[in-house]
Amino acid sequence: YNSFIELFQSILNQSLCPKEVIIIDSSDCNKIKTYINNINNIDIDINYIKVFNKYPGEGRNEGIKNSKYEHIAFLDSKTIPEKNWLYDQVKNLKDNDYDCVFGKTRYVALNNFQKSINAATFGNIDHVTTPGTLIKKEILFENNFIEGVRTADDLEWRERLINKKYKIGVP
């Protein structure tokens, strides 16, 4: 819940706000729904969808099916975007006539144990990721995320887009 609040506030504070936010809630409580129901005075369509026992790819596919707009951007509950993230992604997509611009993530360690794990795995550099990605919706209809797997559906999805020779920007 706290991660969601931080993420949602960062979306509201973007230099370019989205027209729509689709929330796929797989939590086992209704805190997020209550929070969304109490939001007033924002000029963003909010589409709240509660799911049970869904893996990440299945949740993304559900959001894609329910989106109303031509472009879709992905974020995960613990991936907090920089203030100009959406503006920069839209500009990069349009200026370069890309079909998709992948996201980038820098993993942040919060304690000594996490710092050790981070140093041994991700390091202190940006990585190409699905969170942060902006893509034309029409491409997603032909390239859904695989379902029934707990992890790596997004790695397979990005590799599939690359292999199909879409025009992709990499941050």
For 103-162, the pLDDT digits (tens) are 999 888 889 999 999 889 988 889 999 999 999 999 998 999 999 999 999 999 999 999
Residue 50's φ and ψ, nearest 5 degrees, are -90, 130
What average pLDDT does this structure show over 45-51? 96
Kindly report the average pLDDT of the chain as a whole number: 94
Helix, strand, coil content of the chain in percent (nearest 5): 40, 20, 40
Per-residue pLDDT band for 43 (boundaries 50, 70, 90) equals very high
Q: What is the pLDDT of residue 19?
A: 97
- CA diameter of the chain: 45
pLDDT attached to residue 104: 95
What distances in angstroms separate CA 169 from CA 14, 27, 36, 93, 143, one per listed residue? Answer: 21, 33, 33, 7, 17
Interval 5-22 mean pLDDT: 96
The C-alpha R_g of the chain, in whole angstroms, comes to: 16
Distance between alpha carbon 99 and the CA centroid of its chain, in Å? 16
Per-residue pLDDT tens over the stretch 74-113: 999 889 999 999 999 999 999 999 999 999 998 888 899 9
Gap between the Cα atoms of 58 and 62, Å rounded: 6
The band of 61, judged by pLDDT with boundaries at 50, 70 and 90, is very high
pLDDT at 122: 85
**Predicted local distance difference test score (pLDDT) of residue 77:** 86
Q: What is the reported pLDDT for 123? A: 85
- For the full predicted model, state whether its pTM sits above 0.85: yes
